């Protein structure tokens, strides 16, 4: 039996400012309380325009370098996963995000500033409830040697493995439960990472213009450019952060044992779509089985 939990929003509005990792420009992001059942909604400000872009799987338009949502035309907001990982961790189901750029600020490369900002704003528990997503059968997606699986579980757990062509990132794996406390201390502070050799190629495409050692773990051919890491296995922890943020696009809390190997944003979103397809079907079936027939078979035969 799935126990419904109370929806939550933030108590007070907050403003966060930081550099966009791809544009290199300053971004202002404002978070506002919302009524129950509003969901998570971005409002993108472009001049005098205020463009509404809901956070939902139907609005995901790109997963190549980050998770990007759009309104069906040219209006987009990218790199939403770090913010959403913090939102999921704190159980926020209803919130308005106002942003003046096409990307969420990178801050320090992790979810920690968003988590701390939301906590400082306070959290308001709403009267309305929402049922967490749970699954009855395993769900998986595969792309070559990459895969992502969700197994039934009464709690949220993850087993994540990465295997990059780098001496420090070969066969790195991490398994943990993911309650609010563990997410807040062991996952959300993990920073995004990249390879120094890829920087020039990214910048030639107009990407990573705001990337630096202040907001990323940078790997050289045989080590790290950064003087220190937050964790010995910070890179695999950040991949877990991304996974949680990407799955938060489903718009509901979720439980299960996630098993990932060399996954990324595209596979994360593919799994989310499979999960929602199965959950929607199961919930419709349960709803139909509970319906009371309008008349009996005997009455129909008269």
CATH number, domain of 184, equals 3.30.1700.10
The answer to whether position 296 is within a domain reads no
Q: Are 97 and 85 in contact (CB under 8 A)?
A: no
User: Which of the four pLDDT bands, split at 50, 70 and 90, describes residue 275?
Assistant: very high
Convert 37-64 into a string of H (helix), E (strand) and C (coil): CCCEEEEEEECCEEEEEECCHHHEEECC
> pLDDT digits over 46-65, tens only?
989 999 999 999 999 999 98
Q: Which pLDDT value is given to residue 299?
A: 42
Give the full edge-to-edge strand order of the sheet including 60-62.
Answer: 60-62, 68-70, 76-78
Q: Which domain holds residue 40?
A: 5-130
More confident residue, 149 or 284: 149
Residue 276 has pLDDT above 60, yes or no: yes
**Does pLDDT of 292 surpass 70?**
no
Kindly report the CATH number assigned to the domain that includes residue 23: 3.30.230.20
Say if residue 75 is in the same domain as residue 98: yes
Same domain, 163 and 94: no
Domain count, the chain: 2
Sign of CA dihedral 225, 114, 21, 149: positive
**In 3-state terms, what secondary structure has residue 300?**
helix
Q: Nearest CA to 187 among 211, 163, 160?
A: 160
257 is catalytic: no
| pLDDT at residue 300 is higher than 50 | no
Residues 91 and 188 in one domain: no
pLDDT digits (tens, 9 = 90+) for 73-97: 999 999 999 999 999 999 999 999 9
CB 268 within 8 A of CB 244: no
Given 86, 113, 130, the domain boundary residue is 130
Q: What's the DSSP call for residue 187?
A: I
Q: Is residue 298 part of a domain?
A: no
87 with 148, same domain: the answer is: no
Whether the predicted pLDDT of 174 surpasses 70: yes
> CA-CA distances (angstroms) from residue 71 to 55, 83, 105, 243, 248?
10, 19, 20, 23, 18
Mark the binding-site residues for Zn(2+), compressed into ranges.
Answer: 82, 238, 242
């Amino acid at each position: 039996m799935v126990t419904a939990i109370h929806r939550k929003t933030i108590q007070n509005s907050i403003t966060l400012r930081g550099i966009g990792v791809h544009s290199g420009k300053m971004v202002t992001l404002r978070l506002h309380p919302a009524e129950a059942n509003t969901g998570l909604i971005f409002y993108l400000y472009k001049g005098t325009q205020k463009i509404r872009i809901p956070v939902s799987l139907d609005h995901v338009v790109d997963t190549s370098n980050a998770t990007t949502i759009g309104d069906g035309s040219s209006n987009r907001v990218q790199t939403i996963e770090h913010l959403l990982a913090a939102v999921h961790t704190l159980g926020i189901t209803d919130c308005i995000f106002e942003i003046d750029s096409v990307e969420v600020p990178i801050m320090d490369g992790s979810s920690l500033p968003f988590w701390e900002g939301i906590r400082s704003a306070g959290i308001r528990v709403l009267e309305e409830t929402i049922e967490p997503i749970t699954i009855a059968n395993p769900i998986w997606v595969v792309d070559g040697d990459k895969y992502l699986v969700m197994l039934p579980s009464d709690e949220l757990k993850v087993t994540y493995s990465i295997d990059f062509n780098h001496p420090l990132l070969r066969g790195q794996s991490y398994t943990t439960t993911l309650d609010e406390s563990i997410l807040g201390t062991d996952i959300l502070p993990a920073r995004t990472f990249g390879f120094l050799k890829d920087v020039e190629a990214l910048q030639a495409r107009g990407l990573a213009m705001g990337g630096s050692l202040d907001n990323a773990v940078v790997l050289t051919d045989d080590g790290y450019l950064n003087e220190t890491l937050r964790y010995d296995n910070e890179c695999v922890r950040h991949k877990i952060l991304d996974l949680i943020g990407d799955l938060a696009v489903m718009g509901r809390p979720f439980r299960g044992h996630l098993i990932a190997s060399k996954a990324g944003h595209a596979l994360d979103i593919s799994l989310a779509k499979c999960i929602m397809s199965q959950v929607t079907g199961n919930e419709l079936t349960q709803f139909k089985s509970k319906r009371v027939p309008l008349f009996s078979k005997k009455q129909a035969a008269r």
